[in-house]
Amino acid sequence: MKALVFTIVPFAILSGAAFAASDGPPTFNVEPSCRAAAEASKVQDRLQGCLDSEKKARDQIVNEWANFTPETRSTCLQASSVGGNATYTELVTCLEMTRDVKKNPADASMRVTSNSGNGPRTAAERAKGH
């Protein structure tokens, strides 16, 4: 138990409250999300696995942050915070999906028709806000 506490506490301190520097990646406190996932799963090492996964996603974001446009970063920061505590895995997923749509907007696998039929038909159109 002590080893788990010594692993979680530094990660939680480094994560801090959610904020985003204008020129750098955000810092999230992912412990509440990981703790909730661990409690829901009843798997003993789920908490540590979640924290490890979030650290890996954060490292990836730190390494790739400059490759994303400010608009993409802002949109994905908002999306990753919907529903409560933001997580790095949600943020990296959004960043990657948005990047991929912009690279290949004609990809038929990314076509989605809105429920009303009047909305954007492709992921690229949705990414542009059409």
Q: What is the pLDDT of residues 65-84, one digit of tens each?
A: 999 999 999 999 999 888 88
Q: Where are the alpha helices (DSSP H) in 1-130?
A: 2-15, 31-41, 46-64, 70-80, 88-103, 123-128
pLDDT one-digit tens code per residue, 23-48:
789 999 999 999 998 989 877 789 99
Model confidence pTM above 0.75: no
pLDDT tens, residue by residue, 1-29: 444 444 443 443 333 334 444 578 999 99
Can you tell me the distance from the alpha carbon of 45 to that of 32, in angstroms, rounded to the nearest whole number?
15
Question: What is the total count of domains within the chain?
Answer: 1
Show the domain range for 116: 2-128
The angle at the Cα of 31, spanning 99 to 73, to the nearest 5 degrees, equals 20
Under 8 Å between Cβ of 24 and 65 = yes
* Contact between 114 and 120 (Cβ < 8 Å): yes
- DSSP 8-state secondary structure symbol assigned to residue 68: S
